[in-house]
Amino acid sequence: MLIKQMIVGSMAVCCYLVKCEETGQGVIIDPGGNDEEVLAMAEQMGMTVKYIVNTHGHPDHVCGNARIKEATGADIVMHSDDVAFFAKPEVEDYFSMLGLPASPPPDISVNDGDVISVGNIDLKVIHTPGHTPGGICLYNPPDLFTGDTLFVGAVGRTDFPGGDMDQFLQAIRERLLVLPEETVVWPGHGYGGSRSTIGAEKRSNPYL
């Protein structure tokens, strides 16, 4: 599995291009801007984009969906709870203040335990609600793409609509910290660093 991390958009989102080296198929996780650069990187990697996967529905993580889908024909994938939550008019109105392009409706809804297969890569969906109702992480040992659930030395915020800190910390402790300590954490923003491990976060993350 080949992983390319790119920092994109006005909010410095960590976008990931993940390629199966045997088949050339791949996914783009959280295209949050710099769409043409992301597409150019996919071409440079020789990657056929099968899916666009959003770890959650916040505009800074989905604002590149439309352009990437237009260019590649890839299906947009999101957790079913965020599909429903971000379709509510009052939620759309709230997040429109960020001034970022909206995403087309997702093509595929997933739930906890589902597997997104691309080539010979299986990304297991781990539901971690609290940042948003349908926040997810994607797990292919030893790699874990955590979106805005878990950062290096921090966790995502919960003061936006749909956030719940108690639910959030419970999900992190019960669903992420139980993974092997050598699991590589690829965060949705690089606030504290570009990557970490579950072991390092268990020992040093002040929120946990």
The CATH number of whichever domain residue 31 belongs to comes to 3.60.15.10
The number of folded domains in the chain is 1
Q: How far apart are CA 141 and CA 144, in angstroms?
A: 7
State residue 98's pLDDT score.
83
The answer to whether the beta carbons of residues 104 and 75 sit under 8 Å apart is: no
Provide the residue range defining the domain that includes 136: 2-204
User: 167 — phi, psi (to 5°)?
Assistant: -65, -40
> Residues with Cβ < 8 Å from 61, sequence gap 6 or more?
13, 30, 32, 54, 55, 147, 148, 188
pLDDT at 19: 98
Question: pLDDT per position in the chain (208 positions), as tens?
Answer: 999 999 999 999 999 999 999 999 999 999 999 999 999 999 999 999 999 999 999 999 999 999 999 999 999 999 999 999 999 999 988 998 888 888 999 999 999 999 999 999 999 999 999 999 999 999 999 999 999 999 999 999 999 999 999 999 999 999 999 999 999 999 999 988 999 999 999 999 999 9
pTM for this one? Answer: 0.97
Please give the radius of gyration of the chain, using alpha carbons only, rounded to the nearest integer: 16
